[in-house]
Amino acid sequence: MIDSFNYLLKVIVIGDSGVGKTNLLLRFVNHTFQDDLKSTIGVQFFTKVVSMKNEHIKLQLWDTAGQERYRSISTTYYKGSHGVIICFDLTHQDSLDNVVKWYEEVKQQADLNVKIILIGNKLDLSQQRVVGSDTAQQVAKQIGAGYIETSALTSQNVEKAFELLIQEIYMQLK
């Protein structure tokens, strides 16, 4: 039963280094958070089974494992993905400025009908926040993506963000 599922979906996470991609995945999959994990965790993807309308969906959630630091994400990373999470850091303007570059890469590398969600992470750091919701919303609109703000630290909106994306993908499968 554990390993029976109706759909297998590949979801990838991209965005600048340090925005919280690995921690978003860890929070969603393991309900954990780690301050410094790059040396210990180098996994290619996490898996998690979720349910939607009595159907089981096995998610394959791909982590860049630091490849983005060298701006050399391999084409296999994008290949066959159903969903893309583009993540930026609400406390770093340049990470939002780079979202469009990430989107261009998605357009070049991923399937045409891939679903995209934009996540503004580190919502808990309200004192250091520099990106306003309106600005981020505009970028999301520009790239045709939904927008949501999360904290991998407190787990605020993390489930919701993944649910939004999975729902969008699921609707297209039907």
Q: Is 127 in the site for ligand GDP (CB under 6 A)?
A: no
Residue 125 binds ligand GDP (CB under 6 A)? yes
Single residue of 6, 7, 18, 163 touching ligand GDP by CB under 6 A = 18
Q: CA-CA distance, 131 to 87, in Å (whole number)?
A: 13
Question: Which of these ranges, 18-26, 46-54, 74-82, 112-120, lies near ligand GDP under the rule CB under 6 A?
Answer: 18-26
* Nearer Cβ to ligand GDP (152/166): 152
Site string for ligand GDP, 135-164 (x = CB under 6 A): ----------------xxx-----------
Q: Which is nearer to ligand GDP, 82 or 122 (CB)?
A: 122
The four Cα atoms 161, 138, 143, 90 give a dihedral, to 10 degrees, of: -50
Of 53-61, 74-82, 107-115, 117-125: span binding ligand GDP (CB under 6 A):
117-125
Query: Are 125 and 159 a contacting pair, CB within 8 Å?
Result: no
HSE-CB of 169 using CA atoms within 13 angstroms: 28
Q: Which residues contact 155 (CB under 8 A, 6 or more apart)?
A: 27, 31, 33
Of 6, 60, 124, 143, which one interacts with ligand GDP (CB under 6 A)?
Answer: 124
Q: Are 57 and 170 in contact (CB under 8 A)?
A: yes
Answer yes or no whether residue 92 interacts with ligand GDP by CB under 6 A. no
Q: For residues 34 and 49, is the Cβ–Cβ distance under 8 A? A: no
Beta bridge partners of 120: 88, 149
Closest approach of ligand GDP to the CB of residue 66, in Å: 7
Q: Which residues of this chain interact with ligand GDP, rule CB under 6 A? A: 17-23, 35, 38, 121-122, 124-125, 151-153
